[in-house]
Every structure is written in structure tokens, then in C-alpha cells.
């Protein structure tokens, strides 16, 4: 009986991974679900910044998220350091679970603002938290740093909130805004209305092709009147410019 017991312990140790084993894995090798399932919640928590770094599928992300909840007993007790480095684990968080999270600091917001192709319901739940928890800061107060942290969360805001952002902050963050994915028309129109402000890029009459490049997709939300002026000044092919340069932002300058 004792021998069997000892053998079982050895087998279990041989198969179960620790955070250290994961850190020792070759760089960029991706941990498999069956390997994750051998990790105790403590090992998962210790290794969280490493585990979230490479794209996870939903089963892997859910396993990790549930292990984190198990380790801390409940969602509100999960520390800020963990929430700030969830990365791909973020896809496992359900919209209703955001009711129990506090997104009050910029490091946490940075985690949730990255592009994980979250559902609209998830992004809306995150935006609601930001309104409530980051509430000392209103859109008028957002700096380029805040916008850089918020990123995709901005796409779940109302156009009316986007219009309240200071045009100067938008200008400083414009290269980042052009890379946002799946923003609603309402939000894009908000950015377009900031673009022509004197504290942003000023009257479109003075824009160069470079300005079009910096603005990216936002240009398509300018009024038809402004668009026809731009085409007249800069050439009919400016829209091609937007698509062509989308991934080459260094070429805007």
C-alpha cells in the first residue's frame, strides 16, 4: 500500500508542471491545454505574465482564468498586479464578471485596451467599468497616455464621449487611433470631428498627404464636402493612400 502511494506521488510529480518548467520551455513554444491542466492554481498565478503573452484559445484562457479565481477565492480579491498582466487570458472574462472587477489604474486599463478581438458585449462592459472606476478622469481630461492605455476600449464609447476628448490629445494619439479595430461609425465620426479642430490638424484646406496618412480610416468619416476639397487639393487617390499605408505608420512622417 505504501509503495503504491509513493509510486503515485512520483507519477504525479513527473507529469505535473510548475511555473519554473514553463519558464524553461523554449522561447515562443506554446503550452498545450493538457499541460496547463496539470498546473496547480498557484503555479498558474506565479506564471501569469508568461502564460498570457502568447495567443490562447478560449479553452486555454478559461482554464487559466478559472484557476486564478480559484486561487484568490473570488474575482474582487484578484490583485491589480495579476489583472495588469492577463493579456490573452482576457478573452475568458465574461461581460457580467466585470461587475466584480475594478479598472481604476492605468496599468490595468492598458491590459484591457489591447486588441484581443473581444466581443462587443465584453468591450461595452469594460467601457462601463472605465466610466465608473476611472471616473475622476472624464474624456476632457484624457491625455495621450490615457488614450494609449484605453485603445480598443475607446471603440465601445459613445461618439458623444469621443467628441469631448481634447483635440490636442487626439492629435498626439492619432497614429494609434488609426490602428483601432472595429470601431463603430459613431466613434469614428467623433474622431473625425476632432481632426479638423484647430488644436488637432486644423482646417482640411491646409492638410498634406502626410496628414491623410496619420488620420488613416478616420478620413472616411469626414463630411463629403471636406472630402471633395481634399481630393481636389491632394489628388483623387487619397483613399488608396489610407489603405496602402495602414501598416506602415513610419512612412507618414
Ligand X SMILES: *[C@@H]1O[C@H](CO)[C@@H](O)[C@H](O)[C@H]1NC(C)=O
Chain positions contacting ligand X, by CB under 6 A: 32-33, 57-60, 74-75, 96-97, 99-100, 117, 119-120, 181-182
Which of 24, 74 has the CB closer to ligand X? 74
97 or 189: whose CB is closer to ligand X? Answer: 97
Q: How far is the CB of 246 from ligand X (least distance, A)?
A: 12
| C-alpha cell of residue 203 | 482646417
Q: Write down the least CB distance from residue 125 to ligand X, Å.
A: 10
Q: What distance in Å separates the CA atoms of residue 104 and residue 112, rounded to the nearest whole number?
A: 11
DSSP state of 199: T
**DSSP string computed for 105-171:** SHHHHHHHHS-----HHHHHHHHHHHHHHTTTS-GGG--HHHHHHHGGGGGGS-HHHHTTS-HHHHH
Q: Least CB distance from residue 100 to ligand X, whole Å?
A: 4
Long-range Cβ contact pairs of 94-101 (< 8 A, separation 24 or more):
94/122, 95/119, 95/121, 95/122, 95/124, 95/125, 96/125, 98/122, 98/125, 98/126, 98/128, 98/129, 99/125, 100/74, 100/75, 100/76, 101/75, 101/76, 101/129
C-alpha grid cell, residue 55: 495567443
CB closer to ligand X, 232 vs 244:
244
- In the bound state with ligand X, the residue whose beta carbon lies nearer, of 107 and 117, is 117
State which residue, 133 or 172, has the beta carbon closest to ligand X.
133
Q: What angle do CA 177, 80, 107 make, to 5 degrees?
A: 25
- Report the distance separating Cα 51 and Cα 44, nearest Å: 8
Residue with Cβ nearer ligand X (27 or 32)? 32
Residue 150 Cβ vs ligand X, minimum distance, rounded to whole Å: 17
* Cβ 156 to ligand X shortest distance, Å: 10
Considering the complex, what minimum distance in angstroms separates the CB of residue 97 from ligand X?
Answer: 5
Amino acid at each position: 500500500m505504501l509503495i503504491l502511494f509513493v509510486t503515485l506521488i512520483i507519477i504525479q510529480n513527473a507529469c505535473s508542471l510548475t511555473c519554473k518548467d514553463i519558464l524553461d520551455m523554449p522561447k515562443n513554444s506554446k503550452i498545450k491545454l493538457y499541460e496547463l491542466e496539470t498546473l496547480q492554481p498557484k503555479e498558474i498565478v506565479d506564471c501569469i505574465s508568461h502564460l498570457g503573452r502568447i495567443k490562447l484559445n478560449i479553452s486555454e484562457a478559461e482554464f487559466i482564468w478559472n484557476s486564478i479565481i480559484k486561487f484568490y477565492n473570488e474575482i474582487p480579491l484578484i490583485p491589480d498586479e495579476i489583472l495588469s498582466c492577463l493579456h490573452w487570458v482576457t478573452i475568458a472574462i465574461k461581460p457580467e464578471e466585470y461587475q466584480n472587477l475594478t479598472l481604476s489604474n492605468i496599468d490595468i486599463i492598458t491590459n484591457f485596451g489591447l486588441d484581443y478581438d473581444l466581443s462587443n458585449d465584453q468591450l461595452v462592459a469594460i467601457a462601463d467599468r472605465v466610466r465608473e472606476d476611472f471616473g475622476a478622469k472624464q474624456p476632457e481630461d484624457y491625455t495621450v497616455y490615457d488614450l494609449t492605455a484605453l485603445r480598443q476600449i475607446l471603440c465601445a464609447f459613445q461618439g458623444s464621449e469621443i467628441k469631448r476628448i481634447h483635440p490636442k490629445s487626439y492629435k498626439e494619439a492619432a497614429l494609434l487611433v488609426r490602428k483601432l479595430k472595429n470601431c463603430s461609425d459613431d466613434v469614428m465620426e467623433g474622431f473625425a470631428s476632432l481632426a479638423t479642430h484647430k488644436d488637432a490638424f486644423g482646417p482640411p484646406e491646409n492638410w498634406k498627404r502626410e496628414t491623410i496618412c496619420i488620420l488613416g480610416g478616420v478620413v472616411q468619416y469626414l463630411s463629403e464636402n471636406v472630402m471633395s476639397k481634399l481630393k481636389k487639393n491632394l489628388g483623387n487617390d487619397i483613399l488608396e493612400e489610407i489603405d496602402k499605408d495602414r501598416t506602415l505608420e513610419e512612412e507618414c512622417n
